[in-house]
Structure 1
Amino acid sequence: MDIKLENISHSYDSFEVMRNISLDIPSGQIVCIVGPSGCGKSTLLRFIGGLERPTSGRVLQLGAPPEGCLNPLTYIFQDFALLPWRSVAGNISLVLEDHGIKGADARAIIDDVLARTKLTDFAKALPKQLSGGMKQRVAIARALAVNPAVMLMDEPLSALDSQTRELLMDDLVELWERQPFTAVYVTHNLAEAVRLGHRVVVLSRRPGEIREIVDIDTPLSAREFGDAELDAHQKHLWHLMRDEARAADAELIHV
């Protein structure tokens, strides 16, 4: 299933947040969205997910979701959103219970996503027993359990230390290589964007408009820390954003 944004604009009364954003999100790609603070990245993600409606423009879902898809659009947040009284397996089963899937059918799905996210040995653990990186793996496993058409990822690694972030990026690449998925990935971290994104959408400062779309052709599995091509992409992204990021910060200070 593809996602198509057509001329999305949004205002809160006279406060203009974004203007005329049109974007295609093809099936099987990770599309990263970057931009200065306050440019509307997370708001755009909420429009895609149907949590809010833009002032004008529309979001289209084109084509059928994958076979066995329970939720076409599924969120992954930075704060994990795990129930502390449920085990790892119990947190994953929650999204299946919403669809009436229980017993052996649920166990088969849970076992599969636990294996794919390297959590099999932690199925009975409670969230308080897990590190931040492990908690985010649980959140990813829970999202995979509903076989979504598109995963909407809002700063999913921003609460983690740099080492854990690198490991989780490797895990996401490995998951995508084994079974390509579609994702819209909002981040402030340009290194994450060039490590994970097939395309990186650069938004301007408020009102957010698409300044440039950067295609990264290097296969995900071939991208490594310190790679000269990725460094060049990251420098280009920062060159696009630097002055506008400074201006956006100055505006926030004076609000």
Structure 2
Amino acid sequence: MDLRADHITHRYGDMTVLEDVSLDIPAGEILCIIGPSGCGKSTLLRLLGGLEKPTAGQVLQLGAPPAGCLNPLTYVFQDFALLPWRSVQGNVSLVLEDHGLERHASDAIIDDVLARTKLSDFKAALPRQLSGGMKQRVAIARALAVNPAVMLLDEPLSALDAQTRELLMDDLIGLWSRQPFTGVYVTHNLAEAVRLGHRIAVLSRRPGRVREVIEVPMDLTDRRPGMAELEQMQSRLWNMMRDEALAADQELADV
């Protein structure tokens, strides 16, 4: 299933947050969205996921979801959003409980996604026993459990330290290489964008408009930290954003 933002404009009262945004997210591709603070990145993700309705324009789901899809769109949040009284297995099983699955089918799905996210040995652990990186792996496993057509990731690594971010980026690339998924990945971190995005959409400062969509030519599985090609692309993105990022920062500080 492809996802399309078709001339989306969104306002909160008199404030226009997004203006005439059009984007295509083909099946099997990860689109990263970057831009200055306050440009509407997370708002755009909520609109794509149906949590809010755009003031103008529309979000289109094109084609059929994959076989076995229990939920076409699913989120991975920055703050993990785990239930503290439920184990790792219990947090993952939560998204399956309203789908009428037999116990053996549900258990098979849980075992599969825990294995794919390296959590099989921690299924009985509670969130308070886990590191930040492990908590985010649980959130990713929970999202994968419904076999979504599109995963919507809202700065999923921003609360983690640098080493854990690198490990989780490797994990996401590994997950995609074994079973390609469609993703929309919002981030303020340019290193994440060039490591994880097949394409990168650069938004302007508020109201957010699509300044440019840049294709990352390297195969996703060939990318490594510190590669010259990635650092050059990161510099290009920063040069494109620098003045607007500074202006947005000063604007937010003055509010």
Aligned to 1:7: 7
Partners of 1:229 and 1:51 in 2: how far apart? 37
Partners of 2:84 and 2:16 in 1: how far apart? 39
What are the residue-to-residue correspondences of 1:129-148 with 2, within 5 Å?
Answer: 129-148=129-148
What are the residue-to-residue correspondences of 1:161-180 with 2, within 5 Å?
Answer: 161-180=161-180
Structure 2 counterpart SS, 1:200: strand
For residue 25 of structure 1, what is the amino acid of its counterpart?
I
Structure 2 counterpart SS, 1:183: strand
Partners of 2:79 and 2:95 in 1: how far apart? 17
For residue 194 of structure 2, what is the amino acid of its counterpart?
V
Normalising to structure 2: TM-score of the pair? 0.99
Aligned to 1:244: 244
- Between the aligned residues of both structures, percent identity stands at 72
CA deviation map 1:100-131 (0-9, x unaligned): 22411111000100110011000111111110
Structure 1 counterpart SS, 2:21: strand
Which runs of 5 or more structure 1 residues have no equivalent in the other structure? Answer: none
Structure 2 counterpart SS, 1:180: coil
What are the residue-to-residue correspondences of 1:81-96 with 2, within 5 Å?
Answer: 81-96=81-96
Partners of 2:199 and 2:89 in 1: how far apart? 33
Partners of 2:152 and 2:102 in 1: how far apart? 26
Note if 1:107 corresponds to 2:72: no
Normalising to structure 1: TM-score of the pair? 0.99
CA deviation map 1:25-80 (0-9, x unaligned): 00000000000000000000000000101110000000000000000000000111
What are the residue-to-residue correspondences of 1:170-209 with 2, within 5 Å?
Answer: 170-209=170-209
Structure 2 counterpart SS, 1:241: helix
Aligned to 1:119: 119
Which runs of 5 or more structure 2 residues have no equivalent in the other structure? Answer: none
For residue 133 of structure 2, what is the amino acid of its counterpart?
G
What are the residue-to-residue correspondences of 1:32-43 with 2, within 5 Å?
Answer: 32-43=32-43
Note if 1:67 corresponds to 2:67: yes
Aligned to 1:16: 16
